[in-house]
Structure 1
Amino acid sequence: MVIAGLTGGIATGKSTVASLFASFGAAVIDADRIAREVVLRGSPAFDRIVEHFGREILLPDGEIDRDRLGGIIFSDSGQRESLNRIVHPEVFREMNRRIGEIKSGNVNRVVICDVPLLIETGMHSVFDDVILVYVPEPLQINRLMEREGIGRDEALRRVRAQMSIEEKKPYASHIIDNSGTRENTAKITLEVYRSLEERSRRCGPCRHT
């Protein structure tokens, strides 16, 4: 089994690449989806988030207002770090549980863990490979503006709130350039998948724990 961490930057097209990997046969674990699940009302992480940020971040139904919370953490790096300290251990624990389930069923499977803050949190060090989805920053900003319906200044603020895509390059064992057509991205992604699949057949169990 080979377990790779997939990362990128906001609006680089990481979800598109994750979907391509799934279509080729990889098992994909989505850290963003897990992050939404582990903060649902009644969870330990939910209680700690409300205790830290206050009940003002809650929707009328009692769940966390992700837009309001996002507005807080994008404008305050200290608050962003506080949220990450609460959520990331819970996400990592659940990811490990799901990896264990996959491993028990098929030791030769390629597993892709889609983790937005893979490098920033230091989690990249536990994976067999790091796959970076790359687009140049100007394209990243334009795509974010179009996707979110926001102005350039706000898009730039959100992009600059993260580690830059250029800074992430040295950590990557594979770089998938998503600045061209979907067909070109699919071609590159398939090449990476076949490389991982071949290694998975050769090496058996992975080193991830």
Structure 2
Amino acid sequence: MLRTMLKVGLTGGIGSGKSEASRRLSDRGAVVIDADRIAREVVEPGTEGLARVVAVFGDEVLRADGSLDRERLGAIVFSDSEKLAALNGIVHPLVGARVAELQDQAAEADEAAIVVYDVPLLVENNLAPMYDVVIVVDAADEVRLDRLTGARGMSEQDARARIAAQAAREDRLAVADIVIRNEGSLEELDARVDEVWAELSARRASRAR
């Protein structure tokens, strides 16, 4: 059933505009599996994931309502590689299991679907071989920094720490089959996504033959 499905890994550093590209691919017909959204789901109140996070990092990472204080947890882990690894060791297996479920559901609905896996840490976790095509949404580090400190309101220190905690831009580009440069307007992004969608559709058609 999975023979004609096209599995696309979509990644990009924080502030690159990956989520904008993901939304546009969804609008054009892709089935999008969002690893970030799933990562939030697996640590919602009452989940095994949240219990394990609290066991490692303490009650200080909880809000008054019992939900995870993602900002506080982020401030802890993004400045400490060992703590970040500990968090990833909890969350990533749970995310992987949920992604596998969603992939099976997509295959049952349409065996020739273009499934886009929106995975921020694709490079960091050496996941590129899992996909038929890897798309990297790319922007210069200084452009990303401006977006994070502007639209997202991060401090420059926090923004730089988060950029530094991820793979280098060069490492992402090294695994890319397709690059979406995103340093201009949303109209320019739309035009580039149209090109990319046409290429993905052609690849899917080739697999079906």
Q: TM-score, normalised by structure 1?
A: 0.93
Q: Secondary structure at the match of 2:78?
A: helix
Q: CA RMSD in A?
A: 1.4
Against the structure 1 CA distance between its residues 152 and 60, is the aligned structure 2 distance closer, same or farther, given a 3 Å change threshold? closer
Deviations 1:117-150 (A, max 9, x none): 0110122221111100000111111111102323
- Cα distance in 2, alignment partners of residues 183 and 148 from structure 1: 21
Contact 2:123 2:171 in 1 (8 A): no
Task: Kindly indicate whether the alpha-carbon contact (under 8 Å) linking 1:4 and 1:129 is maintained by their aligned counterparts in 2.
Answer: yes
How far off its partner does 1:42 sit? 2.0
Residue 174 (1) aligns with residue 158 (2): no
One of 138, 153, 160 as aligned partner of 1:134:
138
User: Which residue in 2 is equivalent to 1:56?
Assistant: 60
Cα contact 1:109–1:197 (8 A) shared by 2: no
Q: Which residue does 1:122 correspond to in 2?
A: 126
1:148 alignment partner, SS class: coil
State whether structure 2 residue 101 is matched by structure 1 residue 89.
no
Alignment length, in residue pairs? 205
Q: Which moved more, 1:116-125 or 1:28-37?
A: 116-125
The yes-or-no answer on 1:108 pairing with 2:122 is no
* Structure 2 gap ranges (5+): none
Q: Secondary structure at the match of 2:167?
A: coil
Q: Which amino acid aligns with 1:116?
A: P
Q: Gaps (5+ residues) in structure 1?
A: none
Paired residue for 1:33, among 13, 37, 42? 37
Instruction: State how far apart, in whole Å, the 2-side matches of 1:147 and 1:73 are.
Output: 23
Extract structure 1 runs of 4+ deviating beyond 3 A.
none
TM-score, scaled to structure 2: 0.93
- Is the Cα–Cα contact under 8 Å of residues 12 and 18 in structure 2 kept in the other structure? yes
**Distance in 2, Cα, partners of 1:178 & 1:98:** 28
Q: Percent identity?
A: 38
